[in-house]
């Protein structure tokens, strides 16, 4: 998609956004500050330090990544394209979540508790921005792993990026869902499940949902793309490293919980008793060899790419 609100100067230090010059160094500092803040927050969530503000954790967990995605994405894709991305993500994630709560398709049978605040229908309003921010990070990481540092709508972008981005996105849910549901009960799986109280079908439904988001976005983007749609800012190594940095900051939560999380029994709705200590350590292990691996691989691909400045 060619975003007419997005233009770049000949000087790579500035980006003109909607007619206003923005120093990219200053923008990067803001984004790195958000990344470091979220990394610290992710680690502290696993400790008693934040107990006094625990009620705010869901909001902070969504607000910081969404702010990062909007600032970073406005530079990389442009404001109009990011709006399209947000609308597609919001509509599909809300529809699929609502469908599953009502019918069991595609994730299985569950419901949200009141822990995540106000709802749109049966889905908390915080859920859709959570999809959006992680979808944005996963979309960019798929480009990195495929050595595709531009927005040209070729076959790689239209077909391969959505497939790979969906895998990267589901890695996050593999690490996150059991602790959020079985332990913290932000949502309840009615029949429990073999993966620490989460059913197998949930992850298949997640892949389907986020794949649809990415595939539809890729097709919409290709409709408006031309061979001149490459933005020079895509060639800046620092911008891509920021994306990897924030994904890595998200990953840190699961390693921290494995290290500092408490161990006590918890019973899922199917009556199965799980050890939280074993669960946290297992999820930490899964995170290292999924999200951690992707972060390290993406870092080296960016570092050694000859296409980037």
Examine residue 19 and state whether it is found in any structural domain, yes or no.
no
Query: What is residue 24's predicted lDDT score, i.e. its pLDDT?
Result: 76
Q: Are 81 and 217 in contact (CB under 8 A)?
A: no
Examine residue 3 and state whether it is found in any structural domain, yes or no.
no
Query: What is residue 102's predicted lDDT score, i.e. its pLDDT?
Result: 98
Query: What is residue 3's predicted lDDT score, i.e. its pLDDT?
Result: 63
Closest CA to 142 of 213, 86, 75: 213
Examine residue 18 and state whether it is found in any structural domain, yes or no.
no
Examine residue 15 and state whether it is found in any structural domain, yes or no.
no
Please give the Cα distance from 95 to 262 (Å, whole number). 36
Residue-by-residue pLDDT tens, the chain, 309 positions:
556 554 444 334 444 444 434 567 889 999 999 999 999 999 999 898 888 777 788 889 999 999 999 999 998 899 999 999 999 999 999 999 999 999 999 999 999 999 999 999 999 999 999 999 999 999 999 999 999 988 777 888 899 999 999 999 999 999 999 999 999 999 999 999 999 999 999 999 999 999 999 999 999 988 876 433 444 446 789 999 999 999 999 999 999 999 999 999 999 999 999 999 999 999 999 999 999 999 999 999 999 999 888
Examine residue 283 and state whether it is found in any structural domain, yes or no.
yes
Examine residue 12 and state whether it is found in any structural domain, yes or no.
no
Query: What is residue 153's predicted lDDT score, i.e. its pLDDT?
Result: 76
Mean pLDDT for the chain overall: 90
Please give the Cα distance from 257 to 245 (Å, whole number). 19
- Encode pLDDT of 13-58 as tens digits: 444 444 434 567 889 999 999 999 999 999 999 898 888 777 788 8
Examine residue 14 and state whether it is found in any structural domain, yes or no.
no
Query: What is residue 91's predicted lDDT score, i.e. its pLDDT?
Result: 98
Query: What is residue 51's predicted lDDT score, i.e. its pLDDT?
Result: 80
Q: Where are the beta strands (DSSP E) in 79-218?
A: 110-112, 119-120, 123-124, 187-189
* Burial per residue of 18-34, b for 16 or more beta-carbon CB atoms within 10 angstroms, e otherwise: eeeebebeebbeebeeb
Phi/psi of residue 275, nearest 5 degrees: -90, 120
> What is the tally of structural domains in the chain?
1
The parent domain of residue 83 ranges over: 24-304
Residue entry with tokens 């992680």: 134
Examine residue 65 and state whether it is found in any structural domain, yes or no.
yes
């Amino acid at each position: 998609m060619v975003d007419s609100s997005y233009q770049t100067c000949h000087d790579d230090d500035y980006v003109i956004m909607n007619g206003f010059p923005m120093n990219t160094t200053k923008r990067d500092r803001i984004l790195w500050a958000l990344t470091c803040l979220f990394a610290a927050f992710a680690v502290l969530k696993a400790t008693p330090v934040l107990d006094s503000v625990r009620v705010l954790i869901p909001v902070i967990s969504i607000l910081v990544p969404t702010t990062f995605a909007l600032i970073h994405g406005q530079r990389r894709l442009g404001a109009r394209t990011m709006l399209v991305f947000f609308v597609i993500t919001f509509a599909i994630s809300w529809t699929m979540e609502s469908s599953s709560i009502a019918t069991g398709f595609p994730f299985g049978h569950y419901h949200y508790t009141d822990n995540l605040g106000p709802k749109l229908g049966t889905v908390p309003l915080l859920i859709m921005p959570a999809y959006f921010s992680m979808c944005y990070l996963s979309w960019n990481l798929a480009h990195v792993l495929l050595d595709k540092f531009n927005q040209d709508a070729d076959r790689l972008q239209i077909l391969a990026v959505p497939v790979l981005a969906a895998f990267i996105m589901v890695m996050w849910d593999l690490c996150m869902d059991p602790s959020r549901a079985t332990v913290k009960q932000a949502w309840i799986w009615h029949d429990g499940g073999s993966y620490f109280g989460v059913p197998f079908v949930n992850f298949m439904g997640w892949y389907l949902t986020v794949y649809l988001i990415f595939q539809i976005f890729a097709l919409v983007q290709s409709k408006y793309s031309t061979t001149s749609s490459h933005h020079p800012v895509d060639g800046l190594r620092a911008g891509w490293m920021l994306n990897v940095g924030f994904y890595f900051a998200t990953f840190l939560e699961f390693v921290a919980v494995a290290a500092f999380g408490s161990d006590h029994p918890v019973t899922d709705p199917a009556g199965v008793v799980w050890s939280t200590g074993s669960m946290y350590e297992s999820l930490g292990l899964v995170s290292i060899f999924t999200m951690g691996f992707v972060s390290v691989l993406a870092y080296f691909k960016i570092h050694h790419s000859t296409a980037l400045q």
